[in-house]
Amino acid sequence: MLIKTHRDGFIHPVASEITPQSVYRERRDMLRWLAGGGAGVALAGWAQRDARAQMVQRPGKLAALPAVRSNVDGAATMEKSTDYKDASTYNNFYEFGTDKSDPARLAGKFQPTPWTVEVEGLVRKPARYAIEDLLKLSAQEERIYRLRCVEGWSMVIPWIGYSLSKLIERVEPLGSAKYVEFHTAADPKTMPGLSASMLEWPYVEGLRMDEARHPLTLLAFGMYGEVLPNQNGAPLRLMTPWKYGFKSGKSIVRIRFTEKETRTSWTRSAPTEYGFFANVNPNVDHPRWSQATERRIGEDGLFAKRRKTLMFNGYESQVGQLYAGMDLRKFY
């Protein structure tokens, strides 16, 4: 990708960065209370985002998306979440431009509703889902995940969604389905970045079937208690927390089950720099920079030090087994 990173020393998280237990409990109780309100608020939200924004008490500015706290261990649960403002104004979404501020500035005309997602390929029950039906397919959970970009920065974000496996079970993949492709929106009328040829559009990503079925792999509809802002991938995106951020495609329109490994947008454009797996790995450098450390967005003070990047972004105990016996230098 575009940005080169620095190569500062390592640092461990300091105690003041960890959310006190009491604050965390309070927050969790609030989410439970919100969940009691039912999914109706969330569904109405897609149609009336702006009107609702005036009425519902919440941290940001979009419609509330109630969720229960997930039992799936997010590994970053006790870390301080990145400020909503940073998470929604410092983005990679090349369909809207290459500058980090472009998506928040230029995604206003993008229409995340009405929206449908085609689920097709090697499945017994291919289907076309309206976003409202996808939202209802399973209970919404809040999961606090780290996002680590290949460029060397990271965030901690409370996402809302459910495991992609819920959708996969529903469509019944055939035995021959080995990979899952994610095709995202490409609308030249509302996405000014499409006029640049830095990538082949639409943006395409892929996962191996066992990765796609892993409970940590989240189909995300919201963040910070609200529906996703356009710049973060409204109305739905993928969130695969142990992989570099580029694996988590935004504004998905098609999910296809295949026999062959996906030729993703990044492996097509720069095969020597970006691999299919793209697992966060501090021991395997990008050809142009180290991946050993990262800058946490929001910790940009004069004396801010870089953090040590964790194997599989800190999710090694949950996902390491998926790669047992694989040479991770070769399969980067």
> Which residues of this chain interact with ligand MTE, rule CB under 6 A?
91-95, 147, 149, 184, 203, 232, 245-246, 248-251
Cβ-based nearer residue to ligand MTE, 75 or 236: 236
Cβ-based nearer residue to ligand MTE, 96 or 122: 96
Cβ-based nearer residue to ligand MTE, 118 or 170: 118
> Minimum distance between the CB of residue 243 and ligand MTE, rounded to whole angstroms?
10
Strands (E), the chain: 68-69, 116-121, 127-130, 141-148, 153-163, 179-184, 204-208, 218-223, 226-227, 237-239, 252-258, 293-296, 307-308
3-class SS at 183?
strand
3-class SS at 234?
coil
Tell me the residue number closest to ligand MTE, measured at CB.
Answer: 245
Cβ-based nearer residue to ligand MTE, 173 or 249: 249
Residue 255 in contact with residue 123, Cβ under 8 Å? no
> Minimum distance between the CB of residue 325 and ligand MTE, rounded to whole angstroms?
29
> Minimum distance between the CB of residue 184 and ligand MTE, rounded to whole angstroms?
4
Of 107, 219, 116, residue with least CA distance to 166: 219
Cβ-based nearer residue to ligand MTE, 91 or 309: 91
The separation between the first and the last C-alpha atoms of the chain, rounded to the nearest angstrom, is 15
Torsion of CA 221, 223, 228, 233, to 10 degrees: -80
> Minimum distance between the CB of residue 219 and ligand MTE, rounded to whole angstroms?
14
> Minimum distance between the CB of residue 284 and ligand MTE, rounded to whole angstroms?
18
